[in-house]
């Protein structure tokens, strides 16, 4: 092993939670039977599931969508001479920006081509000089 801990994707985790919640809900609905489904008690039994989905949305899904939107706008605003940090921890100055790739100068005369999506942060100009 390379000593790296590989975590599952958050999307996969959310899908599993939703899947198992639906399995529990469906099995609970079948257990109630057709006669009990018409009464007000069946509506009260749905509140925990609705509350669980609302909490999942506000705690997990909404912040993740907000981060994705911020990342997308940051990548669209990426321009030449910006100083960036990549997901691999490489710090450099943007030399060229294309639709899918960015050329980063990590030291004088050393350029590296990376995928645009691997740029995680734009740091303030002049930070490279202090490193």
| Tens-digit pLDDT profile for residues 4-15 | 555 556 666 677
Whether residue 122 lies inside any domain: the answer is: yes
Tell me, yes or no, whether 41 and 86 share the same domain.
no
- Residue 100 pLDDT exceeds 80: yes
Q: What is the largest CA-CA distance in the chain?
A: 77
Q: Which domain holds residue 37?
A: 10-75
Using the 8-state DSSP alphabet, how is residue 100 labeled?
S
Tell me, yes or no, whether 30 and 14 share the same domain.
yes
Tell me, yes or no, whether 36 and 87 share the same domain.
no
Q: How do residues 34-49 score in pLDDT, each as one tens digit? A: 555 555 676 777 888 8
Is the Cβ–Cβ distance between 46 and 36 less than 8 Å?
Answer: no
Exposed e or buried b per residue across 80-89, where buried means at least 16 C-beta atoms within 10 angstroms of its C-beta:
eebbbbbeee
Q: How do residues 47-63 score in pLDDT, each as one tens digit? A: 888 888 888 888 888 99
Whether residue 1 lies inside any domain: the answer is: no
Whether residue 98 lies inside any domain: the answer is: yes
- For the chain, the domain total comes to 2
Of 75, 97, 117, which residue is a domain's last? 75
Tell me, yes or no, whether 37 and 55 share the same domain.
yes
Is the Cα dihedral 87, 88, 93, 99 positive or negative?
negative
Tell me, yes or no, whether 59 and 101 share the same domain.
no
């Amino acid at each position: 092993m390379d000593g790296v801990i590989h975590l599952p994707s958050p999307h996969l985790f959310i899908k599993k939670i939703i899947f198992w919640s639906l399995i529990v809900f469906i099995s609970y609905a079948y257990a109630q039977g057709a006669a009990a489904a018409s009464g007000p008690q069946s509506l009260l039994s749905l509140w925990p599931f609705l509350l669980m989905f609302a909490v999942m949305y506000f705690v997990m899904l909404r912040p993740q969508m907000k981060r994705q939107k911020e990342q997308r706008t940051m990548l669209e605003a990426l321009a030449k001479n910006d100083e960036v940090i990549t997901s691999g921890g490489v710090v450099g100055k943007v030399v060229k920006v294309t639709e899918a790739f960015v050329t980063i100068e990590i030291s004088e005369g050393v350029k590296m081509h990376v995928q645009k999506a691997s740029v995680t942060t734009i740091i303030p100009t002049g930070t490279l000089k202090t490193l």
